[in-house]
Amino acid sequence: MSVAVYKIKRTILIFFGVFLIAATAFLFTLYQLGTDFLILDDTVEEDSEADAIIVLSGSAERLERGAELYSKGASDTVILTNAEENGTTPDRAVSLGISEADILEDTKATSTYDNALYAKDIMEEQDLSSAIVVTSEFHSRRTKMTFDDIFGKDYTLSYAFTSSSFNSADGLTEMEKKTTFSEYTKMIFYSIRLLFD
């Protein structure tokens, strides 16, 4: 093996090793922060109003919170992301009191990143400039990070977080441990992805 090839292989191995150690340390640090770091407070005031309410798919509670905001007059437009997913379908929205005429649908999203991207497209098409984003509390930090980055300063976003079965006060179940790990892991990858967008 030539000296040049050896140096290249060594450099790649060192780079990979440093990256692996840094990623592991970062994940461990975040995991040590626990679940509290994942959960943000609502930024929606009692009398908040916006051009749209964006309901992220993933749980029925999110649509219920969106419908509650709609019924209080927070907005007369509701954007359902991944509107074909159980729990956040237009039919269910209508059953919760949202007028069919006030529902805008995204049917393509498969991730939180896509939720933000396609919701922004809908807002641009409809000439809307402010929104209340609704998701679960454990999903709040990653959602805010993603939406704030993708929407940028031309939009005014506030956030409404709904409670879910995720509750760390009495210790974490196996499912909650997986959710916590998943959220931290996705936050790392989203942070890197958003840097290059």
Structure confidence at residue 40 (pLDDT)? 83
CATH number of the domain that 69 lies in? Answer: 3.40.50.620
Domain membership flag for residue 158: yes
For 4-42, b/e burial (b = at least 16 CB within 10 A) is eeeeeeeeeeeeeeeeeeeeeeeeeebeeeebebbbbeb
Domain membership flag for residue 77: yes
- Average pLDDT, integer, range 64-82: 95
Domain membership flag for residue 112: yes
Domain membership flag for residue 74: yes
| pLDDT tens readout for residues 130-150 | 999 999 988 899 999 999 999
Task: Categorize the per-residue pLDDT at 7 as very low, low, confident or very high, splitting at 50, 70 and 90.
Answer: confident
Count up the domains in the chain and report the number: 1
Closest Cα partner for 151 from 170, 126, 125, 123?
A: 123
Domain membership flag for residue 134: yes
Query: Looking at the whole model, is its pTM more than 0.85?
Result: no
Task: Categorize the per-residue pLDDT at 27 as very low, low, confident or very high, splitting at 50, 70 and 90.
Answer: low
Domain membership flag for residue 12: no
Structure confidence at residue 50 (pLDDT)? 97
Task: Categorize the per-residue pLDDT at 26 as very low, low, confident or very high, splitting at 50, 70 and 90.
Answer: low
For residue 172, give its domain range.
34-197
- How high is the mean pLDDT of the chain? 87
Share of the chain above pLDDT 90, in %: 48
Domain membership flag for residue 1: no
Domain membership flag for residue 22: no
